[in-house]
Amino acid sequence: MSKIAVIQMKAHVEKEKNLEKILNYIGQAAKRDAVLCAFPEFMMFYTPPHQSVLELTRLAEQITGKFITTISEAAKKNSIQVVGTFYEKKSQANRVYDTSFLIDRNGKLILKYRKIHLYDALGFKESKKFSPGSSVAQPVNTTVGKIGMMICYDLRFPEMSRMLASSGSEILIAPSAWVKGKMKEEHWITINKARAIENGCYVVAPDQVGNIYCGRSLVVDPFGKVLLDMKKREGIGIVDISLDQVKQIRKKLPLLKNRRTDIYADFKV
């Protein structure tokens, strides 16, 4: 069994205030014997609708900047793995990447993923401020298990989670900032459970709460059981996960093995 800490937070518009809160949560997670601490999307700061692209670009950082470097130092100090996101500065002046990261307990960056599915739906258009990534990050082995990374809207595209699961992922982590709205919480819960069931893996989905976001950070086991639902509470949740559960479920319900990849193809129209 491994303990995972899930952080549900309301991000402030000021980066430094969020960083202080993040470091505190990392320390709390370590004290509670968690081996991994997972944060939501947009943990760096909340971007209000009126914020310009140029202002967002000015506040964004490289992976080698202070924000990630400070978190890496905290991961090493507390001997804990950390998952989160940041606004990654790119050479094009009027766009940033929505980028997730995984830092190991020695403070080393072992995975970086740029969100490929931008939230251009339901009245939002992330592509006005963000550039999409161009690839899915390869799953990585950690002390918790093999982790595949997604971000928020990616959860709506089952091809991505299936690709990560068929490539060996035992845990899918999806930092999110799920926007409130009609049926949105129902979609959120259903999609997270579906991704876990169809791939026989854990889904860990830390979410933003407050501002325009719905909360409900979740951890779902490989059979679809919700192990954690943080409702509207800001704070830290601790969950025990077991890779034996993944092995047992995939043996009893061998969906990945039973796929007919020799037949699947689009019809010619």
Return the structure tokens found at 77.
Answer: 């100090």
Residue 257 has a CB neighbour count (10 Å cut-off) of 10
Return the structure tokens found at 96.
Answer: 């940033």
Predicted confidence at residue 49, as pLDDT, reads: 85
Element spanning 166, H or E = helix 158-166
Predicted confidence at residue 202, as pLDDT, reads: 98
Inside any domain, residue 77: yes
SS3 track for 170-208: CEEECCECCECCCCHHHHHHHHHHHHHHHHCCEEEECEE
pTM of the model: 0.96
Low-confidence ranges of the chain (pLDDT < 70): 92-93
Domain that holds residue 179: 2-253
Predicted confidence at residue 267, as pLDDT, reads: 85
- Cα 257 to Cα 162: distance, rounded to the nearest angstrom: 12
Predicted confidence at residue 269, as pLDDT, reads: 77
Inside any domain, residue 187: yes
**Could you read off the pLDDT of 158-201 as tens digits, one per residue?**
999 999 999 999 999 999 999 999 999 999 999 999 999 999 99
CATH number for 219? 3.60.110.10
**What's the total number of domains in the chain?**
1
Inside any domain, residue 262: no
Inside any domain, residue 217: yes
Inside any domain, residue 263: no
Inside any domain, residue 267: no
Inside any domain, residue 238: yes
Predicted confidence at residue 249, as pLDDT, reads: 97
Contacts of 19 (CB under 8 A, 6+ apart): 67, 70, 71
- Cα 251 to Cα 246: distance, rounded to the nearest angstrom: 9
Inside any domain, residue 172: yes
Query: Which of the 8 DSSP states describes residue 35?
Result: S
How many angstroms separate the Cα of 238 from the Cα of each of 6, 79, 95, 246, 247? 6, 17, 35, 19, 22
Can you say whether the dihedral through the CA atoms of 80, 60, 169, 137 is positive or negative? negative
Return the structure tokens found at 26.
Answer: 């990392």
